[in-house]
Amino acid sequence: MGLKRSSIDAVTDESVRAERLLDAEAKAAQLFDEIEGRAMIRAGIGEQQLSDEINALAADLFGVDRHWHRRIVRAGENTLQPFKERPPDRQIVDDDIVFLDFGPIFEEWEADFGRTYVLGDDPDKLAVRDALPRVWQAGRDYFESHPQVTGAELFDASVEAARAEGFGWGSHIAGHLVGEFPHKKIAGTATEWYIMPGSTKPMRRADPSGRRCHWILEIHLIDPQRRFGGFYEQLLDLP
C-alpha cells in the first residue's frame, strides 16, 4: 500500500532540511577557502579587524548579514580560551596560530564552521592543527558506531581522543544542535541540546517540533605548556 501521505511528507521535509544544512555548510567551507586563498589571516592585523573583514567578505560573496552566534577569531594565547570567554583583542604576529569560529546564516539555515591556521612552520603549532581533524573524525566514528549514543558519552569519547593525541580539552562542550534559524528558539539552552556532561538523552531523536535533531561536533584542543590551542567544527550527522 506504500507510505501514508503524512509519512511521505515527513520524509520529503527531512530530505529538504538535510540538503539545506549541507548547502549552508558547503557555503561556509567556500567562505573559509576564500579567506585562506586571499591570505586574510596575516601578521599585523588584530582579531577584531580580521573578524570584521571576514564578515564583509561573507556579505559580499553570499549576502550574509547575520550570524547566529558571536563571531570568533582567536590568535596566540587567546586560542586557549573557550567560546564563552572574551579575551582582549590581540594582534596576529609572525609564526602565530589562529582559529576561526563562524556561524553564518544562509537563507535562514545555520552553518557552524571552525578551522585552525598556522603562520610559519612551528612544528608544535602544526601538530595541533593537524591533530584536529583526526580527533573530529574519531568523534564522528564513535557517533556512527553507537546508535544510542548520548551527548555525555560523545563528549567523553572526544576528550579521550584528544588525550590520545597528546592534547588537553579546551571547552565544557563538544558540540550542539543546529538547524533552521534560530534553533535556540526551539531548543533553548538546556544541557540536552549540547554534547557535554549531563546530556543523557540519545542524540538520535526528534526536537520539540518533531523534527530530527542535527548536530555540530566541535573540537577544541589545547597545549597548556606551550600556551596555545586549536579549534575545528562542522556537521556531525550528515555526510
CA distance 203 to 133: 21
Per-residue pLDDT at 12: 64
DSSP codes, 82-111? -TT--PPP-B--TT-EEEEEE-BEETTEE-
Per-residue pLDDT at 10: 59
What are the beta bridge partners of residue 231? 220
Position of cell 567523553?
156
- Average pLDDT, rounded, for the chain: 93
Per-residue pLDDT of 19-32, as tens digits, reads 999 999 999 999 99
Amino acid at 16: V
CA distance 142 to 156: 10
What are the beta bridge partners of residue 105? 110
Per-residue pLDDT at 189: 76
CATH number assigned to the domain covering 5-235: 3.90.230.10
Whether the CB-CB separation of 96 and 74 falls below 8 Å is answered with no
Residue 134: its H or E element: helix 123-145
